[in-house]
Structure 1
């Protein structure tokens, strides 16, 4: 046998522990704080907001790789403050005694020294009652403070980002991609601060091109936020968004959430803020998704801008250097507030559907590329002469035998549509109007005071039956069926403990689980409405949800899916002829039922067309 070598023979030289120099420390810190040009813009704009700026201008060149300049009209700094601002862990935001009592965007004191370590940074600033001053730091080497001309505020200019760490430049994306990331950061902060004006300019090539501009919005918070969202996300979102204002246990939820029929193919229109700070938190986004679970299909995503406000002591923002993650003292309380606040707002919207549905319908009617110009439209007199020329001339009694025709006047005016109804219906003043016809045994045509409504009778009735079944289930409670032989599911000790922590919540949904020794659990009861259940598969799905989101709506979702299928089979089928009183009864029930504007999968149940839009299709306007 071979002799085992001695440790001294294997490692004759022991590694020596040494202190890194300040430049290396700053470059390492910059790797955590500054990942790309957009990260630098985020840190600098947040500093401007903390300084009380009312207007902020961001200039960049070549996607921010060669130039980033942020100008603000905040409180500014003196020449004495500038060297301290570039020192690591030096900040005016906190005094260090309480890291949970944070009321500002920044508090680590790492952004400016990190930027100075990887780029060429120049700060020019002037505080009220002081002279302007400037300081430059390049690759971690700081120069002396010198006088500078500036009215008020601060200008931070960062050139040649990552010139001191050229390896990082290899990981940069194209100029266009980096510029889009900068725009996304500025727009998120603009939504967080609607009372502040933002201007974003691309100065590549020496010419300044305004990419985004948002002036300070007037009015109270909700009015200002609504105006800012119309500027950032578009008028369609603002016109189809519901105001959200809910409060519970020291947490307040505010913002706007779009109607289910105004959904997106991805989560690009979802923005969440905690105490004004943009965050990317899986638990909060999961709560947003859960709130729309009953009105959207899995391949559609809601659009919303929501802000959670609470005492800083209830949330920890000191989780990651980028400050995009937070930890709530009561995460389930925050999640529950988002779900209940959104569902209450959606239910309060009643039968309302998004206005974009009508726009898409009109676009489908309009011939591609066809345009009607005002000069091409005939005048009213031309219309009258055309109708007279086209009017049929009946044969005269005294010349019928000879095959002759007598002169007869044409139409005196344009023909009008005739409604075959003995009495004008007062239902036309209602939101969904009065039924006038049924087309293809599936679509109800209703007349309103200002236009017409086209209703998908099967989709509408499916939603009505579904809401009725859910109300019955919630009123009578969820019936559970006891298993003759409990099903034993083997789990790890950690998974079993995590599942049993939520046993009371699962029992309220009809799923009763108990500990069975070791890591095993016994499933003793399942929701009766689900019929035969693969308990092991259901338990593992619930555990996946708990690991990903900290909670699970798996059982609730399965029960809702069963009720949805029951509603589909129990609703008015396509192809059934309906009497006028049945159609009107359906319209009235839609008006009184929450969420009746979309079916169980998020598709619209009706389309409303304004008379002015219909006339425009025919060139009458």
Structure 2
């Protein structure tokens, strides 16, 4: 059997199998590129659930004409340049695979005008066949047009669902984005008709955005959480125990602004609610976890749905204690919860749940003891460590619920 080099188009189509699963995957990649470019308004035009057309227009920084071919080349990006950059990724995208992968399975058009440029430029790609860069009138920003998704890969296209289903996946992901980026205006049209508009005038965690995204019932039954310790910050909203769900459809987790599914954090949330919810019921929440980017690896999933924490057990304890304190204040009759530093009594009284095991990042960590000390230090006092030794890590079963709603790519 002879070994041969695969052609570039086939390489991109194979990569598309990981990055591009359905129209919602394309929308996610292109909108995240627009956000990384500094866009404050993004127009999303769809036809037939995104199968016939996906057009993303933004007012970001734009791309220079001579860099358009490079933008659709594999592993070409402006977001990282070294291993140090990769270990502290702050942008939503960083792999440089989205545009070439999408272009290899569609009729692709890229038009952009860089800031301070006199005119824009256009580049077309048909099924991976690169065209010429030509001048094109365009306002500052970028337009990416994706037509006839999977037209040249019929085996993939036949697995797409009905138009309404594909559109629902896109809308679900846009709702996830809208909760995290209320400063960005999102306008959506479907089959030529306005479908949804998210105004870019809100503040993070504004009650108006919660009402728009998750409904009046959720907004009326939430507790505000604000907690910082051990170099981490957790803020957001959690639903009161009386407001619970039959599924995990209203669970949103963001790590350094990135929407992810994480079993470790989901387990901590379930443990915090374990004594206030019936079996089979699920809490609802919108939580933002912030920590040093060097403490989290975002390069563990092709579509960037998952992350790996350097100190997963510390993260688990931090989230559990923050939410347990907020729920405890509610049971005490305060009616609201804005959690702060742990008290020594609480640190001694709370049970320590077993955290799910997560594969280590393989990085040396010298400040873990200090971080644990900060987590267990009451305000204005000495560290209060549990009298019993910390439990050993337990592995969750493979079929354990992940705790985050599908983002339209499963």
Tell me by how many angstroms 1:95 deviates: 0.9
Pairwise CA distance, 1:217:
3.1
CA contact (8 A) 2:179 2:205 kept: no
Partner of 1:594: none
Asked if 2 retains the 8 angstrom alpha-carbon contact of 1:66 and 1:161, the reply is yes
* Contact 1:259/1:353 (<8 A) preserved: no
Structure 2 residue aligned with 1:216, among 200, 210, 213? 200
Deviation per CA, 1:261-281, whole angstroms, max 9, x where unpaired? 111111100011111111011
User: What is aligned with 1:57?
Assistant: 43
| Matched ranges for 1:371-382 at <5 A | none
Residue 121 of structure 1 aligns to a residue whose secondary structure is strand
Deviation at 1:548, TM superposition (A): 7.3
Partner residue, 1:335: 316
- Counterpart in the other structure of 2:372: none
Matched, 1:30 2:13: no
Q: TM-score, normalised by structure 2?
A: 0.81
Residue 247 (structure 1) aligned with residue 228 (structure 2): yes
In the alignment, is residue 304 of structure 1 matched against residue 290 of structure 2? no
Give the helix-richer structure, 1 or 2: 1
Cα deviation for residue 88 of structure 1 reads: 0.5
Q: Which structure 1 segments of 5+ residues have no match?
A: 1-14, 355-470, 479-504, 514-541, 550-621
Runs ≥4 residues deviating over 6 A: 474-478, 546-549
Q: Structure 1's 86 and 327: CA in aligned 2 closer, same or farther, altered over 3 A?
A: same
Task: Tell which deviates more after alignment, 340-349 or 174-183.
Answer: 340-349
How far does residue 475 in structure 1 lie from its aligned partner after superposition? 6.3
When residues 475 and 507 of structure 1 are mapped into structure 2, their CA distance, relative to the original with a 3 A threshold, is closer
Q: Is residue 2:307 matched to residue 1:326? A: yes
SS at match of 2:104: helix
SS of residue in 2 equivalent to 1:47: helix
Does the CA-based 8 Å contact 2:111-2:142 persist in structure 1? yes
Once the two structures are superposed, residues 53-93 of structure 1 have per-residue CA deviations (whole angstroms, 9 ceiling, x without a partner) of 11111111111111011111111112112111001000011
Distance in 2 between the 1:249 and 1:125 partners?
Answer: 43
3-state SS in 1 of match to 2:87: coil
How far off its partner does 1:290 sit? 1.2
Q: SS in structure 2 opposite 1:135? A: strand
Please name the residue that 1:138 is paired with: 126
Matched, 1:16 2:32: no
Residue 333 of structure 2 is aligned with which of 326, 332, 351? 351
Contact residue 202 and residue 209 of structure 2 kept, 8 A: no
Measure, in 1, the Cα distance between the counterparts of 2:139 and 2:171.
Answer: 27
Q: Which residue of 1 aligns with 2:100?
A: 113
Specify the alignment match of 2:90 in structure 1.
103
Q: CA RMSD in A?
A: 2.7
Given the superposition, is the C-alpha separation of residues 41 and 228 from structure 1 closer, same or farther in structure 2, using an over 3 Å criterion? same
Q: Does structure 1 residue 508 correspond to structure 2 residue 380? A: no
Aligned with residue 65 of structure 2, among 79, 86, 90: 79
Larger relative contact order (CA 8 Å, sep ≥ 6): 2
Query: In 1, Cα distance between the equivalents of 2:349 and 2:202?
Result: 46
* Deviations 1:92-127 (CA, angstroms, capped at 9, x unpaired): 111133221211000000000001100011111111
- 1:343 is displaced (CA, Å) by 1.5
Partners of 1:477 and 1:322 in 2: how far apart? 36
Relative to 1, partners in 2 of residues 1:151 and 1:288: Cα closer, same or farther, differing over 3 Å?
A: same
> Of the two, which has the highest radius of gyration?
1
Cα gap change, 1:353 to 1:177, in 2 (>3 Å): farther
Counterpart of 2:57 in 1: which secondary structure?
strand
Match of 1:149 among 133, 137, 143: 137
Superposed CA deviations along residues 111-156 of structure 1, whole A, max 9, x for unmatched, are 0000110001111111111111111111110110111111211111
Shift of 1:230: 1.6
